[in-house]
Amino acid sequence: MGRGEYQTPHYNAAMRDERGFTLPEVLAALVVLTIIITVSFAAFLERNNRLQQAAEIMLAYQALANEAEYQRRIQYTLLIDDTESSDTDSSGSEFRSDTKLLEPLGDYGTSVKVNTVQPGVRNVTMTVRWRNGERIARLTLVRVDTGGLRLW
Amino acid sequence: MVRRRRERGYSLLEVTVMLGAFAAVLAIFFIATAEMRQWEKRLPINFMRHPQVSAVIARMRRDVVSAQAPDPYEPEFGGFTMSSKTLILRTIVPSGGLQTVVWDFSEPGVARRHAYTSTLKESVWTARGLPNDFSSEVKLDAVEFDDRPYGVRITAKDSNGRIAIDQILQPRAHD
C-alpha cells in the first residue's frame, strides 16, 4: 500500500485528533492484564491440583482401608515385628489386598510395617507412596494380643 | 488549535519483543493445562464426591460392620436373590434387635435399602440420582478371610472402565 493513499482529505480529517496510546501506556496495560490473567490461571491450576490430590487420596485411602481389613484378620502371633527381622534394610512387606485400584496413580509402592509398642501391643503401619514418593498416605492399625480369642 | 503529531507506530523490534513475551506466557499456560489434563485423564471419576454415593457406601458399611456373624448372609429373602446387584444380610440395629437388610442396585440410578424385622418390611430407604455409570457398573462380591465371615467387596468403574470404588467391608466381632 503506497503512502500516498493516506493523504486523502477524508483520511486526514479522521486522523487529525487521533493520538493513540504511547508505548509505556500499552506496556502498563499489558502488565496489569498479565498479572490478572496469571493470578486467575494460578487460582484455576491450584483448584485443579487440589481436586486431583483429593481424587488421588481417595484412591489411596480406599486401598489402605481394604488392606486394614486384611491386617486386622491376621493372627497376632503371625505379625512379625520388622525391627526384629533379620533383614536390617527391611522396608516391610507389600499389601495383601488387591491394589489394582491404585494403577491410575502411576508408579506407586505399598508397604506394611509392624513394630512392637509394648508387650502385647503392635502397630501395623500401612503406607502408599506415589509420584516418586512425593505423595504419601499412611494408616496405622493397633493390634493387641488377646490370647488368641476369636471373639466370634 | 489542534496539535498535529507525526504517526510513527511501533518498531519491528518492539512488536517482536511483545509477541515473544505473549508467546512465552501462552506456552506456560498451555504446558500447565496440558499436564493437568493428562493427570485428569489418568484418574477415575471420584464417585465419593457424590453425596448419594457416599451415603450409600456409609450406610452399607454400617450394615456389614454390624452384621450378625459368623454367617450373616441370606441367599434369598422377601422375593430378592443375592447377586452382584443385591446384598442380603442380617444386621444388628442400634436398639439391639435384628433386621434383615436387602441392598438392591438393580434399578439404574437408584439404590434401595429394604429393612425387615422378622418377615415384616419395616422401612425402605432410597437413594435416587446416583450417577449412571456408578449404578450400571456397581458390583457386589464376597471376600474370603481365613476362619472369618465373608466380607463384602463393592466395586464400581467409571465410564472409561477405570476402577473408581473398591471397598472391602467386613463384619466386626460383637457379643
Among candidate residues A54, A142, A55, A127, the one with its CA nearest the CA of residue A95: A127
User: Given an 8 Å threshold on Cβ–Cβ distance, is B43 in contact with A49?
Assistant: no
Cα A6 from Cα A18, distance rounded (Å): 14
**pLDDT tens across B96-138, in order?**
889 999 999 999 889 999 999 988 999 999 999 888 888 888 9
Cell 434387635 found at: B97
Residue-level pLDDT at B162: 86
User: What letter represents residue A101's amino acid?
Assistant: L
What is the enclosing helix (H) or strand (E) of A33?
helix A23-73
User: What letter represents residue A23's amino acid?
Assistant: L
Cα–Cα–Cα angle for A51, A52, A58, rounded to 5 degrees: 90
User: Given an 8 Å threshold on Cβ–Cβ distance, is A106 in contact with B43?
Assistant: no
Q: What is the ipTM of this complex?
A: 0.73
**pLDDT tens across A39-62, in order?**
998 898 898 888 888 889 989 999
**pLDDT tens across A66-109, in order?**
999 989 888 888 888 877 665 545 567 889 999 999 999 989 99
Cell numbers placing A66: 481394604
- Mean pLDDT across chain B: 87
> Is some CB atom of chain A closer than 8 A to the CB atom of B8?
no
CB atoms closer than 10 angstroms to residue B124? 11
pTM: 0.75
What 8-state DSSP symbol labels residue B71?
-
**Dihedral sign, Cα of residue B131, residue B137, residue B140, residue B146:** negative
Residue-level pLDDT at A152: 47
Using pLDDT thresholds of 50, 70 and 90, give the confidence band for residue A151: low
The shortest CB-CB distance from B168 to any of A37, A66, A106 is to A66
Cα–Cα–Cα angle for B52, B142, A77, rounded to 5 degrees: 110
The shortest CB-CB distance from B151 to any of A48, A63, A69 is to A69
Among candidate residues B162, B140, B164, the one with its CA nearest the CA of residue B61: B140
Distance of CA B128 to the CA centre of its chain: 14
DSSP-derived 3-state class of residue B75: coil
- Nearest-by-CA chain B residue for A40: B29
Preceding omega of B70 cis (within 30 degrees of 0): yes
**Which chain A residues have any C-beta within 8 angstroms of a chain B C-beta?**
15-20, 23, 30, 34, 37-38, 41, 45, 48-49, 51-52, 54-56, 58-59, 62-63, 65-66, 69-70, 72-73, 97-98, 100-101, 103-104, 106, 150-152
User: Given an 8 Å threshold on Cβ–Cβ distance, is B173 in contact with A151?
Assistant: yes
Low-confidence ranges of chain B (pLDDT < 70): 1-8, 174-175
Helix crossing, A23-73 with B12-42: angle to 10°? 10
Cα A138 from Cα A90, distance rounded (Å): 18
Preceding omega of A104 cis (within 30 degrees of 0): no
In chain B the first and final C-alpha atoms are separated, in Å, by 102
